[in-house]
Amino acid sequence: MFDHPDYDAHEKVLMVEDAASGLKAIIAVHSTALGAAAGGCRLWTYGSGVAALGDALRLSRGMSYKNAMANLPMGGGKAVILGPVLPERREAVLEAFGRAVDSLDGQYITAEDVGVSVADMKIVARTTGYVSGLDAAVGKSGGDPSPFTARGVRVGIEAAVKAKLGRSDLAGIKVAVQGLGHVGSYLCEELFNLGARLVVADINPVRVEEVCDRFAAESVSVNDILLQTVDVVAPCALGGAISEVVAQQLQATIVAGAANNQLLTPQAGVILGERGILYAPDYVINAGGIIMVAGEISGHNDEAHILAQVDAIGPRLTDIFIKAKSANVITNLVADSMARDKIAAAKARQNVTEAA
């Protein structure tokens, strides 16, 4: 693991195999410098264990950066459960996963991610208290983080449109949305309500039909969605959507979406920059969900307070865009260095406290 290309001085990586339930999972704790490592749990069928490990390592580092940039008092971690999980085993698998989370004594706090629902998290909560993304009380945030993620992506798109196109509203702005799951469909609703025109694709035709009906969207094939002649491409499916080839062929002027790890390689980000395409760093724009989860964990989950924090994603991106332009550096490198500085400063404070 120490030689894995995605290993980045992670504090702890737990591999779990539970024979009784069939659970196979990896919990990666990248950093606890800013607080307990928080990040969702993904249930996915990977091509290999090495691929699952790579995903856990990358996603957990992304969470460290995401939480630092959102000014949350939390470190970064992520869990993956290796699928497939048979329906009749799901409950036992999730309970066993909860026990694994619990064994870390609060170093890692879990929540939903791709393939995992609020109902699943309630099962996880039977065996650990270190879980969030459960149901919301009236007037409080909680439960499914996706609407908050979608709202953050929408304000991020607004900031990018302002920076790149000089426009203060989204009326008539054309957005291609890849992936119409939890976040993608809420994002379509947000954008539609502000007068944006939508082009959409999903591998699930039922979701495509529903979004087209509700939000007057045009559907295109999954192979063509990223190459549409639009203002904004919003990757909201899985990571790695922006390969070097896609970056080279993209017709949009902005890439701003919810998916984690959108750039398949660092070079893909360089190509976007060279072509003058504005990229909204994924872990900055998609922090709305974790902001809500952080409120749930800390108990400061008054909805108005959470929404104000989510809306702060807009000005934060504007700041990154300005810094990138004035230093002639690509946006994701600006964000990376800001995040690393915040984590390093927290580590230094921790060391001083421990020494004292």
Question: Could you say which of 7, 91, 127, 181 contacts ligand NAI (CB under 6 A)?
Answer: 181
What is the closest distance, in whole angstroms, from the C-beta atom of residue 315 to ligand NAI in the complex?
19
Question: Could you say which of 31, 67, 286, 301 contacts ligand NAI (CB under 6 A)?
Answer: 286
Question: Could you say which of 24, 182, 197, 342 contacts ligand NAI (CB under 6 A)?
Answer: 182
- Our measurement of the distance from residue 92's CA atom to the centroid of its chain's CA atoms, rounded to an integer in Å, reads 27
User: With respect to ligand NAI, which residue has the nearer C-beta, 90 or 167?
Assistant: 90
- For residue 230 the two structure tokens come to 């639009």
- What are φ and ψ of residue 88, in 5° steps? -75, -15
Distance, in Å, from the CA atom of 278 to the CA atom of 55, rounded to the nearest integer, reads 25
Nearest to 247 by CA among 224, 273, 221: 273
62 binds ligand NAI (CB under 6 A): no
Q: Is 169 helix (H, G, I), strand (E, B) or coil?
A: coil
Q: What track of x and - describes contact with ligand NAI for positions 231 through 270 (by CB under 6 A)?
A: -----xxxx------------------xxx----------
Residues present in the chain in total = 356
Q: Residue 10: which region, alpha, beta or left (left: phi > 0; alpha: psi -120 to 50)?
A: beta
- For residue 54 the two structure tokens come to 């790579």
Q: What track of x and - describes contact with ligand NAI for positions 148 through 167 (by CB under 6 A)?
A: -x------------------
Nearest to 342 by CA among 132, 59, 111, 35: 35
Q: Which of 24, 78, 164, 342 is catalytic?
A: 78
With b for 16 or more beta-carbon neighbours within 10 A and e for fewer, the 63-77 pattern comes to bbbbbbbbebebbbb
Let me know if 122 is a catalytic residue: no
Q: What track of x and - describes contact with ligand NAI for positions 104 through 133 (by CB under 6 A)?
A: ---------xx-------------------
Which residues of the chain form contacts with ligand NAI (CB under 6 A)? 113-114, 145-146, 149, 178-184, 201-204, 207, 222, 236-239, 258-260, 286, 289
List residues with catalytic annotation: 78
